[in-house]
Chain A
């Protein structure tokens, strides 16, 4: 069964600290993996996209990694800010077929001052 599992479900860290969010998937055939940031009551916004051949991609203080062999991805946030408080959603595309997008349930990140 095609699944995307994220961990932890929720995380609280102090402002200025780093953190890493995990995404494991069993989607096949794999097309790409995206990380989205969703602020409360808003739509998700794309942070990064990674294809099979990419291992690392950065977007400011966000760095995503992908290990296609173990089917794992991580999102590392450096020097966290209060505005990083949001849900982070891992999304895996299966091939290029429509409706073949699998969403993880997200990690709820809270940054405390």
Chain B
């Protein structure tokens, strides 16, 4: 079955550490996105990529980095510069632009310990 796989489901980070969240899709979608979800708030866009080797900052990119070396993969690194990283992170993909509707992964919950 086609879909998006995020791993790990739960991740714990110590202060000052960088951590990387994995996102892999086998839907042959061109565009991929990373969102952050906090309780009581709408999803906020961190980064997006419409094509391999190209990506753009979203609304809250500070403290995060991404790469898009393969069409199928769009990993997100949460760096030590991100002061409040505890959140639920969602990866999504679309065939083309965002207007075509998302397929979401099942999410990664990141907690700072």
Contacts and interface: CB of A to CB of B under 8 A. Distances in A.
B90 A43 contact: yes
B106 A43 contact: yes
Interface stretch (B66-74, B76-84, B97-105): B97-105
Contacts, number: 60
B101 A34 contact: yes
Q: How large is the interface on B (under 10, 10 to 19, 20 to 34, 35 or more residues)?
A: 20 to 34
Contacts of B101: 34, 46, 49
A24 interface: no
A105 B98 contact: no
Contacts of A31: 99
B105 A43 contact: yes
Contacts of A93: 98-99
Contacts of B45: 99, 101
Interface of A: 4, 9, 31-32, 34, 41-46, 49, 89, 93, 95-106
